[in-house]
């Protein structure tokens, strides 16, 4: 079968709504995007719901689907976060996302992010990693970016069916939650008890940790508590790359995306200059994309900034972030080999006026050899709704791409 390649450029949280401060245009309509519009003119467009209409997804689920899995394969946020920070996880491990937090003597969460701590969390993690909870249960703990961390419990007879201790935003000033079993199994009860013991023991240790004594002396909030959430069990997932016998890479600055990519069997490529914000190094991303497509069948390249600006309700800045995406795609286009498709997608909508992910579809596009052009000339939420691809689920979109590649 004829084999071709795909570069998929993903603008995180791209989808939006007409915004009054942009003259009733969406940030994508408002932004100057000559490269994206060129691809729309020469390619085929449509709309995509990652799962189905009206169902909002997280960045992890959205990417899981764009990388070729189905929603039921979702292993939980914890395992994905762990992969993203290079933590070794085994099937059966119970993995949690954590925050370094500040809790007062009465168990009230003063700050879920410990004053947005970003320094020396490795020294704090060091005293937690490997701690004794119970015979036969191993504790692994590693700091992630800023106030985040990952906890992994390894042992027989554990369950991920337990609740969060994190009261979640905006609940500073409320007590942390006791962890509870979410089903009636002995495994869930045991795991809930273990995590409650973990919370208590780590709090005792962290109260007198040198990093915290230093922080208090400097007038900063101490990281004296570990809040847990998103318990998940690492599943036996066959990498997509193995299922289809293809090779792929993913270039991104965000741990979540890199974690999903690794789960799916893709090489995860990053650099400190890929910041996950508007100051990210798009030239390097574009350069690596062209370099990686030479020896791979598919390359994903990700830009986080549009999502951040959507969450912050900054429509003008979101349009700027989209122009950055346009420039990155333009750089890739300059050196695009002949047998390679470019696909444009987003993992979900993050409308500025909402500030959260919503279940509205996102515009998609495919450009490349012998593609069935449609009559759409602009890449945005309004025009692409009339495009030749129609309205697809994420699964259908990815299957379409694999088909064009000759991998179906």
For Zn ion, the closer of residues 161 and 348 by Cβ is: 348
Least separation in angstroms between CB 347 and Zn ion: 4
For Zn ion, the closer of residues 307 and 381 by Cβ is: 307
N-to-C CA span, the chain = 10
For Zn ion, the closer of residues 29 and 347 by Cβ is: 347
Q: Token pair of 116, please?
A: 């947005």
Least separation in angstroms between CB 139 and Zn ion: 30
Least separation in angstroms between CB 358 and Zn ion: 12
For Zn ion, the closer of residues 44 and 344 by Cβ is: 344
Least separation in angstroms between CB 328 and Zn ion: 17
- Core vs surface per residue 45-70: b (16+ CB within 10 A) or e: bbbbbbbeeeebbbbbbbbbbbbbbe
Q: Token pair of 301, please?
A: 């390249």
Least separation in angstroms between CB 280 and Zn ion: 15
CB proximity list for 95: less than 8 A, separation 6 or greater? 76, 78, 79, 81, 82, 89, 150, 151, 152, 153, 231, 232, 233, 234
CB proximity list for 170: less than 8 A, separation 6 or greater? none
Q: Token pair of 132, please?
A: 């004794």
Q: 133, 130, 125, 105: which is closest to 195 by C-alpha? A: 133
- Return residues touching Zn ion (CB under 5 A): 12-13, 59, 307, 347
SS3 category, 310: helix
| Residue number closest to Zn ion, CB atom | 59
Beta bridge partners of 229: 97
Beta bridge partners of 365: 45, 344
Least separation in angstroms between CB 252 and Zn ion: 11
For Zn ion, the closer of residues 36 and 257 by Cβ is: 257
For Zn ion, the closer of residues 307 and 326 by Cβ is: 307
d(CA 321, CA 319): 5
């Amino acid at each position: 079968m004829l084999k071709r390649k795909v570069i998929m450029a993903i603008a995180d949280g791209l989808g939006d709504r007409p915004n009054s401060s942009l003259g009733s245009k969406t940030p994508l309509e408002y932004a100057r995007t000559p490269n994206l519009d060129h691809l729309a003119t020469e390619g085929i467009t449509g709309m995509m719901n990652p799962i189905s209409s009206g169902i909002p997804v997280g960045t992890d689920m959205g990417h899981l689907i764009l990388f070729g899995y189905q929603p039921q394969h979702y292993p939980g946020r914890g395992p994905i976060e762990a992969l993203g920070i290079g933590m070794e996880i085994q099937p059966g491990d119970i993995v949690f996302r954590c925050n370094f937090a500040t809790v007062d003597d009465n168990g009230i969460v003063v700050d879920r992010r410990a004053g947005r701590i970003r320094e020396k969390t490795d020294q704090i993690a060091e005293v937690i990693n490997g701690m004794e909870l119970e015979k036969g249960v191993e504790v692994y703990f590693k700091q992630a970016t800023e106030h985040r961390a990952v906890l992994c419990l390894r042992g027989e007879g554990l369950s991920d069916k337990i609740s969060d201790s994190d009261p979640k935003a905006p609940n500073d000033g409320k007590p942390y939650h006791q962890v509870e079993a979410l089903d009636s199994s002995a495994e869930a009860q045991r795991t809930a008890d273990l995590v409650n013991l973990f919370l208590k023991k780590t709090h005792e240790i962290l109260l007198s940790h040198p990093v915290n004594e230093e922080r208090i002396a400097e007038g900063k909030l101490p990281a004296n508590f570990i809040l847990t959430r998103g318990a998940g069990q690492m599943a036996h997932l066959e990498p997509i790359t193995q299922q289809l016998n293809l090779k792929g890479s993913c270039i991104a600055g965000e741990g979540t995306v890199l974690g999903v990519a690794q789960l799916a069997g893709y090489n995860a490529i990053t650099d400190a200059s890929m910041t996950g914000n508007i100051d990210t190094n798009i030239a390097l991303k574009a350069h690596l994309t062209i370099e990686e497509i030479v020896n791979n069948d598919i390359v994903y390249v990700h830009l986080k900034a549009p999502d951040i600006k959507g969450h912050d309700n900054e429509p003008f800045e979101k349009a700027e972030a989209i122009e950055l995406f346009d420039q990155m795609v333009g750089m890739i286009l300059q050196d695009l080999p002949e047998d390679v498709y470019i696909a444009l997608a987003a993992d979900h909508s993050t409308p500025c006026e909402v500030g959260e992910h919503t279940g509205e579809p996102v515009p998609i596009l495919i450009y490349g050899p012998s593609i069935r052009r449609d009559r759409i000339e602009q890449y945005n939420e309004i025009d692409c709704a009339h495009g030749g691809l129609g309205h697809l689920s994420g699964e259908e979109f990815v299957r379409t791409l694999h088909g064009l590649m000759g991998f179906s």
